[in-house]
Amino acid sequence: MNTSHINNSKNIVKLWSLTIIILLIIMIVVGGLTRLTDSGLSITKWDLFSGILPPLNNADWIKYFALYKEIPQYKLMNFSMTLSEFKFIFFWEYIHRLLGRLIGLSLLFPLLYFSLKQMLPYKYLKKFTIVFGLILLQGFVGWYMVKSGLVNEVTVSHYRLALHLTIAFIILSSLVWIYLNINSNKYKIFFNFHKRTFLIQLLIFLLFLQIVIGAYVSGLDAGRIYQTWPLMNENFFPSDMTWEDLFNFNNQSFVQFFHRNLAYLIFFLTIYIGYTIYTKNRSLITPYIYLASAVSIQIFLGIITLISSLNLYVALMHQFSSIFLISVSLNLYFRSIK
C-alpha cells in the first residue's frame, strides 16, 4: 500500500471518528434538553425498529398520548396537558432516540467496511468495536432508566440517569482519545499511570465524578433549592442538613452541597496543575490555558444556572461546556504523555 493511499485511508478514518464525536455531542446536548424539559418519559415503549418513524397522523398521536396518560408523571404532574403540549415533549425524546440509532449505525456500517478493506489496524478495530459495544449498552441503560419512571415515580431514577450520562461521556472520551491518537500518528494508552501525569489523571477522575454528581443534582431537581451563591442561604452547610445526611445521595441539600464543593476542589487543583506546568513543563502551557478557561467557564455557568432559577438556556450551556471541559482535559493529558 503506497504512502498516498495510507494517508487517504487515515484521513477518511479521522473524518469518520470526528463525525461520530460531533453526533455524540449533539446527542448529549439533546439529552440535556430532554431532561430539562421533562420530556424523557413521553415515549413509554421501546420499539427498536417501528419506533424509527414518528406518529404520522392524528390517530397515532392520540395513541401515544393515551399511553403517556397511564403513567404517574401525567396523572400527578401533567394531568392538564394538551395534545399540542405533549407533542413538544415527545419531540425531544423522539429526536434523542433517533440520534442514538443514527450514532450506532454511523459506527457499525463504516466499521464493517473498513474491516473488509483492511483500512483499520487491529488495535483500532478492537477499540472501535468496544465503543460500538458501549453504544449498545447505552441503549439498554437508556431504556432501563426510562422504566424507572413509568410505574411509581414521576421522574426517572437519578442513579440510572447518572449511569446513562456517565456512559455517554465514556463513549465520548474514548472517541476523543482515539481521534487524538490517529491525528498525531501516535498510539498512547489512556491508562498509563505515572507520577508525571498523576495530577491530570486525578483531575479527569474528579471531572467524571462531578458529571455523576451533576446528574444527581438534575435527577433530584436539587438545583431548585438554595439558589444563592457563594453561601447556601447564608450558610456554608445547608441549614436543613444534619451530619447524618452526609453522603446521602438521595438528599437534595447534600447533593447540591457536594456538587458545589467538588467544583471548588477542581478549580484549585487546576490552578496547582498550572503551577506545576509553568515550573516544570512549559510546552503544555497552551493546552493548559484551554483547560483553565474551560474550568472557569463551567463554574461560572454553574453559578449563573443556580441563581437564575435554572434558566433553560443557561443550564443547557452549562451541560454543553462540560463536553468541552472533558475534551480539553483529555487533550492536556494526551500531550503530557511522553
User: Cα separation of 169 and 21, whole Å?
Assistant: 11
Identify whether the C-beta of residue 153 lies closer than 8 Å to the C-beta of residue 72.
Answer: yes
User: Cα separation of 127 and 132, whole Å?
Assistant: 9
User: Cα separation of 303 and 174, whole Å?
Assistant: 29
Taking the CA atoms of residue 267, residue 272, residue 276 and residue 278 in that order, the dihedral angle to the nearest 10 degrees is 70
User: Cα separation of 228 and 303, whole Å?
Assistant: 9
- Output the pLDDT for position 4: 56
Amino acid present at 192: N
User: Cα separation of 190 and 326, whole Å?
Assistant: 14
- Residue spans of the domains in the chain: they are 1-187, 190-338
Q: Which residues of the chain have pLDDT under 50?
A: 1
Tell me the whole-structure pTM to 2 decimals: 0.93
Identify whether the C-beta of residue 329 lies closer than 8 Å to the C-beta of residue 290.
Answer: no
pLDDT in tens, 27-48: 999 999 999 898 989 998 887 7
pLDDT in tens, 197-237: 999 999 999 999 999 999 999 999 999 899 999 999 889 99
CA-to-CA separations, 106 to 112, 128, 220, in angstroms, rounded: 11, 12, 34
- Output the pLDDT for position 53: 85
Q: What is the CA radius of gyration of the chain?
A: 22
- CB contact set of 67 (below 8 Å; sequence gap of 6+): 44, 45
Identify whether the C-beta of residue 337 lies closer than 8 Å to the C-beta of residue 177.
Answer: no
User: Cα separation of 89 and 38, whole Å?
Assistant: 7
User: Cα separation of 280 and 294, whole Å?
Assistant: 22
Amino acid present at 336: S
Look up cell 415515549; give the residue: 43
- Output the pLDDT for position 118: 85
- Output the pLDDT for position 6: 57
